[in-house]
A and B are shown apart, each in its own frame.
Chain A
């Protein structure tokens, strides 16, 4: 069975600075894969390459089709929801308007309504604050809004860039619980970029560790978790 998302020897960078030096990885249908590594290892750039935010060579395939030379707008409408670094919340807009941006391309109105109900079940606080400006939300609530908005796109794959960034440990735990629930109930595959390796490994089945633009280690999450030397040299705990 071929993977939902495949990266094959991807090189990418910004102008003259190259950041990725041949990254290959796979995300299976419905699976959760972590992308770990230090600051500057190229985790965010990998995600940006997938949704066309940075030029790349090599090949990236989604559901068997190459994403080469495709515009970001087209890539995401194929079923990839990318929650970027910093969450990408439109702070000029209300919570509700942000959510509507998630579903604005969908024509299946009845299903959209069901998805709204589901999203508000996961994140009741968003329902309470629907009419408020998104800028009034706390960091954790903004992360919830970003996840909710991504869910409303009804993606087959979610790219999550550091969902734990800047959040209190308790909030991080509840957000990761919800990511797990989303993955289990809707079979959405997740490619998770995280600094917090411990919590990412608990959630995922497979993990890749990037080091200076290359995959340094890869394997089942449980193995990486148990491997003392990998933990010490790459994951820092």
Chain B
């Protein structure tokens, strides 16, 4: 039973990482009905930037916010330069473009930093703390705290600020928002910036666990897709809860199902398929019904 709770806690930590990336996916999906397949690679690139910053002797806790700002600006730049010119293209075109973008960023990172895995410093100690007989590592607690904080900040930004309000309006009702003076195109860019920064958090949290290399996020993005689909791809709250469920489930399955280590990724994809068959709108998604 003690092992079970330990697995749950570390599953919540992994889930927080999935949730951050899933939230990034949801932010862009909401803004333009598009799944951004480059989200993971953008996060990976930002993590390399953080790695380089730390390499110059900068402390992690300074490199972290600096990276978030760089990722934010980078996300806006990607939207302005790559996405905006094809904004009105069919969704399939956009999907192919994000796939191309993923390949491009992956290659660029390989070109700059090479494909040799590097260890990324964890800002948290590897020690454990006993809480009621359950031993939890400070790393897991740290990841939970950071992801939790980021998700809270995003929530407050979207729900409690005027910018957040106009972003939500622009995402769901672009035509009506324009008539109210909302600069819809810039709101989309802001959404990309925000998504990019939130994704960067997941990259920086997962890098100490997985080792940093250009393909690092390719498994994480599958879990993030699973989390986003499970929560209902339109729901930020759903993405977070989906992320936690996927994190805990994968962690438990990896331990309790013999030889499941090889199947973990298949597990993530299995969740996507199951959800799409049984409950296509996810846990928190709305059915696509419109009042006429």
Contact = CB atoms under 8 A, between A and B. Distances in A.
Interface of A: 51, 53, 72-73, 76-77, 81-82, 84, 88-93, 97, 100-102, 104-105, 135, 149, 153
B292 to A, nearest CB: 9
A76 B175 contact: no
Interface string B179-200: 1111110000000000000000
Given A100-B162, A104-B162, A135-B291, A90 B179 contact: no
Interface stretch (B61-69, B166-174, B215-223, B247-255): B166-174
Contacts, number: 64
A88 B179 contact: yes
Contact of B173 (A92, A104, A153): A92
Contacts of A149: 180
B175 A73 contact: no
A92 B182 CA distance: 16
A101 B172 contact: no
Contact of B165 (A72, A76, A77, A104): A104
Given A53-B178, A101-B182, 6 more contacts: A53-B175, A81-B179, A84-B176, A90-B177, A93-B165, A93-B168
Contacts of A76: 178-181
Contacts of A97: 165, 168-169
Interface string B145-162: 000000000000000001
A72 B168 contact: no
A51 B179 CA distance: 8
B176 A88 contact: yes
B165 A100 contact: yes
A81 B179 CA distance: 7
A100 B162 CA distance: 8
Contact count band on B: 10 to 19
A104 B181 CA distance: 9
A36 B242 CA distance: 52
Given A97-B165, A104-B166, A73 B178 contact: yes
A93 B167 CA distance: 12
A100 to B, nearest CB: 6
A133 to B, nearest CB: 11
A151 to B, nearest CB: 12
Given A100-B162, A135-B291, A92 B168 contact: yes
Contacts of B169: 90, 93, 97, 101
A73 B165 contact: no
A76 to B, nearest CB: 5
Contacts of B162: 100, 104
Interface in B259-292: 291
B185 to A, nearest CB: 9
10 contacts: A76-B179, A89-B176, A90-B177, A91-B173, A100-B162, A101-B166, A101-B180, A104-B162, A104-B165, A104-B180
A88 B172 contact: no
A77 B165 CA distance: 18
Contacts of B184: 73
B172 A92 contact: yes
B95 to A, nearest CB: 24
A97 B165 CA distance: 7
Given A97-B165, A100-B165, A72 B179 contact: yes
Contacts of B180: 76, 101-102, 104, 149, 153
A13 B150 CA distance: 46
A77 to B, nearest CB: 5
Contacts of B177: 90, 101
A193 to B, nearest CB: 14
Given A88-B173, A88-B176, A100-B162, A77 B181 contact: yes
A90 B172 contact: yes
Contacts of B178: 53, 72-73, 76
Nearest to B163: A104
A76 B181 CA distance: 6
A82 B165 CA distance: 20
A73 B181 contact: yes
A84 B177 CA distance: 11
Nearest to B171: A92
A15 to B, nearest CB: 13
